[in-house]
Amino acid sequence: MTITTLGLDADDTLWHNETIFRLTHDRFAELLSEHHDREQIEARLEAVERRNLRLYGYGVKGFTLSMIETAMELTDGEVSPAVIREILAAGREMLGHPVEPLPGVRETLDRLSGRYRLVLITKGDLMDQERKLAASGLGELFSGVEIVSEKTPDTYASAFRRHGTGAHQAAMIGNSMKSDVLPAILAGAWGVHIPYHVTWSHEVADAPADEPRFAALDSISEVPPWVEARNRG
């Protein structure tokens, strides 16, 4: 079955994202360092984020609200206004940070876009993801863009139906085993994992090692020869 369509995750696949969240985590821990040690702060922030995920979804705005809520909890409700101001500023900076494609991304997508339909499939805040795609300069290489609230098998089935020739003729490429690879395979597509050097704890999952439609590549530059090899059978 020929692969006609490639789905690409955005954050940490096409450009840095988790590193920017990490920097903000560092800054946040620093702000509260007189109250608690780093580990406690991280653990509480993670618990608050997890609790809020159902309500806030993914993205910078929900993360900013979760930082404020965590700061309230960690100071027993006596948070200083300076901390709130710093958190708001950190959120705004995340929403405005420059977007630089990761090494090899532009060349690889240039090469792929002539032969395959490329579809960007990403979670996060609608406006923020659109801004990042525009700022990356990669927008015109995609024939479809799907910004979604969750990445489920249904998400991939409908994205590949809408923008391609169905999931069975598609491969999804991304850094998250849990969000990019596993649900895409369940939808009938190939799942291609390309690791990023840090992974958000909510996105960690095991590789489906025995799955024939799973592939693990070291970098995005390996995608073109990989697809060509698949399509030669």
The binding site for a copy of itself (CB under 8 A) comprises 55-57, 61-62, 64-65, 68-69, 72, 75, 77-79, 81-82, 84-85, 88, 91-92, 95-96, 125-128, 130, 147-149, 162
Q: What is the nearest approach in angstroms of a copy of itself to the Cβ of residue 79?
A: 5
Closest CA to 196 of 6, 8, 18, 22: 18
- Closer residue to a copy of itself (CB): 79 or 167: 79
- Closer residue to a copy of itself (CB): 81 or 114: 81
- Closer residue to a copy of itself (CB): 50 or 92: 92
Q: What is the nearest approach in angstroms of a copy of itself to the Cβ of residue 142?
A: 14
Closest CA to 144 of 2, 8, 11, 24: 8
Q: What is the nearest approach in angstroms of a copy of itself to the Cβ of residue 115?
A: 24
- Closer residue to a copy of itself (CB): 34 or 39: 34
Tokens of 128: 């923020």
All residues at 6 or more sequence positions from 137 whose CB lies less than 8 Å from its CB, including other chains: 101, 106
Reduce the DSSP state of residue 13 to 3 states and report it: coil
Tokens of 134: 């525009």
- Closer residue to a copy of itself (CB): 70 or 175: 70
DSSP code at position 213: T
Q: Which stretches does DSSP call E strand in the chain?
A: 5-8, 117-123, 144-148, 170-174, 190-193, 214-216
Q: What is the nearest approach in angstroms of a copy of itself to the Cβ of residue 73?
A: 10
Are 32 and 83 in contact by the 8 Å Cβ rule? The answer is: yes
Q: What is the nearest approach in angstroms of a copy of itself to the Cβ of residue 202?
A: 15
